[in-house]
Amino acid sequence: MSALWVSSLLVLIPVLAALLTLGLRRTPHLAARVASGAAIVSVVVGIIGMAVAPTRNQRTAQPSDTFHVGDLEMPLALGSGPTTAAVAAIVALVAAVVLVFTQWYLDDDDRLAQFAATVSLFTAAMMLVVHARDLVLTLIGWEVMGWCSYLLIGHWSRKESARRAAYKSFIVTRVADIGFVLGIVGLSAGAGSTGLDAVVSHWTGEGGAVPEPWTRSVLLALVVIGVLGKSAQFPFQDWLPDAMEGPTPASALIHAATMVAAGTVVLAQLFPVLVLADGARWLLGIAVAMTMVGAAALALGQSDLKRLLAWSTVSQVAIMLSALATATEAIGPDPGLFHLWSHAIFKSLLFLTIGWLSVVAGSTLAMALRGSGHVHQLALVAWLFGLLALAGAPFVVGGLSKEHVIVTAYEGAIGSGGPGVVVLAALLVTVVLTAAYATRAYLVVAAPDGERSVSTRSHAVGDETAAHELDETAVLEEQHDHSGMPSAPVLASLALLTVLTVVGGLVMLTGLFNLHRASMWWMLLTALLIGIGAGVVWLARGYGDPRNAFVRTVRQRTLADNGFGFDTAYRRLVAGPVLWLARIVEFLDREVVDGYVRGAAASAGIAGWLTDRGHRREAPSAGVGLVALGLIVAAGTAVLTWR
């Protein structure tokens, strides 16, 4: 099987699975099983794809008939490459695991089949973005993902908060997509082709004519704006924590491998252009630097562990993007993609684990989850290794990739004029904060068993419940009458992800990612910073939840839970002015434009009345009178023309 076959199959299998699943929606369990089966086939194809992946510098693309739309070429080709194969394989794996988990988690849900179909379609869209060698295909995948994420987040549409979260994610990402679409259109129009290779060679100046640097920066900045929206980066970050209203498997999929990571994939494809566009790199660098620190700080302050994971995703995606913002041309985009790879593994592990724990505890609130890890040895181990990777502990998969990102930022800081210094500083601060919130998350879940009942009761009337009155598990509680033990396939999946979290770094040996050596000094420094972050939280463990040592007042907690009040800011700064503008336009339309229309109607009416007056007597006499008038006109013409 050639690499091109693999790329076509990986896009087609989930599409077919989605259609088939939707067709079988009357038998939801069968439908979910079909979706999972197709996803597992995708995993096998993805692993084959890694084996047959083309080697470096040998990018392949489908030879296909080029469509011509006016002066624009449209190859509409898929392609493959070494990193493409690795990312596609991990997307397939996460999707399969999520579907297996969904079968258990949403066992009693009446719309299980629709959910599975949406997950499959979502996967197909991500696969399309990963394999696209044509910006039009990228755009299609990008938009389908936006639509599917809306459906997944709003799955429990009976809940008001879920509907609002779905709208919010849709609208926020859509606003950012304005930039993305404009950027794509500009890049394609400049190159005269939507083919990725043509676009890259045009805008890097390989084709001969060197493009205007200013235009290149503006267009790339527009693409970056779209990426910031989809990846929930500042200032669009606030939709992602709200998206926790969706079922946990949906969160795992969105966070781990698809939607938020899509921006990294697209920018990696455009990397040769991005590295030349300094304006876009500065925009990206500043945005991600602010995001990674702010999101990590917010993660530390969350009262809800699922939202903690959401903020950690925002922070980790910022780390991926920071590698793209700072990498020099020699380093290339692969450190960022490697972090995407490892993040997909450990973040899906963490989300699925917390999904399991929330079923056990009946909530995702930290105080409810206290000590819940003791339900099963595997849960505790999975949680521990997931958090170790999140914190970036040496040698687990997250540690290795984060190390490469830091080295990339360092090289960028000393080697090029990009935003390397700012990003490097932010990265180091983030390492400390990440270690701190990861430690906190572990301490809460792994608290001694005896404390659990006490803490749940004592906090039942506490100040923290206000943040989340309507919790997703309230829906689940009615559905799960079992003891909270997942099925064997789910346990096997979790075990697989845990193993991969530990040994996933071995993918470096395959050479699929083009990585340079990480320096031992940086590794030591990072370990030290992790130690500081973890140690501070460890010392604060006496507070019950270590968070309470950092956010002490109710006001601070509310601020943290609300993500620094960005939702209010969106409403005040964006929604408010837009509505205000809409009212002005409506007023102008009603009072000015409609005024002309009413005036026209009135003048037509007056003209009609006047004409009517002239036709009151429609007798033969009037007819003859008008004939006479016509004769006078004709005679007048004759006199005038007779010279």
Partner 1 sequence: MTLQISWALLLPALIPVAAMLLVLVVDAVVPRASLAAPVIGALGLLGGAVAAVPGLDAGDPRLTLCTPAPDGRCMWDGSPLASTLQIAALLATLGVLALMSWRKAGVVDVVMLLASASGAVAVVAATDLGTWLIALELATLPVIALVAWRDRRAAAHGALTLLTTSLVSFGLLVLGAALWVTATGDPTLTGPSLATAWAVPEQRVLASLATVVLIAGLAFKISAVPFHAWTPTTLTSGPLPISALLASASKIAAVGALLVVLAPYESVLDLSPGPHTVVAALVIVTVASMLTGTVMALRQTEVVRLLAWSTIAQAGWVLLPLTALSVAGRQAAAIYVLVYAVASLVAFAAVRAIHGQHVEDGRELTAYKGLLRRDPIAGGTLAVALLVLAGLPPGIIGLVAKVMTIRPVVDAGLWPVAVVAVVAAVLGIAVYVRWFAVMFGDPDASAPKRPGRRRASVAVAVAGTAVLVVTSVLPQVLLGLVS
Q: Check if the beta carbon of residue 73 is closer than 8 Å to that of residue 41.
A: no
Q: Under the rule (CB under 8 A), what is the footprint of partner 1? A: 600-601, 604-605, 607-609, 611-612, 615, 618-620, 622-627, 629-631, 633-634, 637-638, 640-643
Distance separating the N- and C-terminal Cα atoms of the chain = 92
Give whichever of 461 and 640 is closer to partner 1, judged by the CB atom: 640
Give whichever of 520 and 639 is closer to partner 1, judged by the CB atom: 639
Give whichever of 488 and 619 is closer to partner 1, judged by the CB atom: 619
CB of 68 to partner 1, least distance (A): 24
CB of 640 to partner 1, least distance (A): 8
The whole-angstrom separation of Cα 163 and Cα 498 is: 33
- Look up residue 380 and give its two tokens: 């505790």
The whole-angstrom separation of Cα 145 and Cα 255 is: 12
CB of 619 to partner 1, least distance (A): 8
Give whichever of 448 and 620 is closer to partner 1, judged by the CB atom: 620
Half-sphere exposure of 623 (CA within 13 A, CB side): 3
- Look up residue 587 and give its two tokens: 């007023």
The whole-angstrom separation of Cα 79 and Cα 169 is: 30
Give whichever of 573 and 607 is closer to partner 1, judged by the CB atom: 607
Which residue has 């509907």 as its token pair?
A: 163
CB of 587 to partner 1, least distance (A): 24
- Look up residue 451 and give its two tokens: 């404390």
Give whichever of 539 and 624 is closer to partner 1, judged by the CB atom: 624
Give whichever of 462 and 625 is closer to partner 1, judged by the CB atom: 625
Give whichever of 64 and 603 is closer to partner 1, judged by the CB atom: 603
CB of 51 to partner 1, least distance (A): 54
Residue 321 DSSP SS3: helix
The whole-angstrom separation of Cα 355 and Cα 336 is: 28
Identify residue 52 by its one-letter amino acid code.
Answer: V
Q: How far is CA 448 from the centre of its chain?
A: 36
Give whichever of 506 and 607 is closer to partner 1, judged by the CB atom: 607
CB count within 10 Å of CB 52 equals 14
Residues 6+ apart with CB under 8 A from 628: none
CB of 595 to partner 1, least distance (A): 16
C-alpha separations of 526 from 391, 406, 431 in Å: 10, 9, 7
CB of 638 to partner 1, least distance (A): 5
Give whichever of 483 and 611 is closer to partner 1, judged by the CB atom: 611
CB of 633 to partner 1, least distance (A): 7
Of the candidates 183, 221, 190, the residue with the CA atom closest to the CA atom of residue 204? 190
- Look up residue 80 and give its two tokens: 């493959």
The whole-angstrom separation of Cα 628 and Cα 548 is: 101
Residue 373 DSSP SS3: helix
Identify residue 158 by its one-letter amino acid code.
Answer: R
Pairing of the two strands 67-69 and 72-74: antiparallel
Identify residue 381 by its one-letter amino acid code.
Answer: V
CB of 588 to partner 1, least distance (A): 21
Give whichever of 209 and 640 is closer to partner 1, judged by the CB atom: 640
CB of 635 to partner 1, least distance (A): 9
Residues 6+ apart with CB under 8 A from 136: 74, 76, 188, 194
CB of 599 to partner 1, least distance (A): 13
The whole-angstrom separation of Cα 170 and Cα 230 is: 10
CB count within 10 Å of CB 234 equals 20
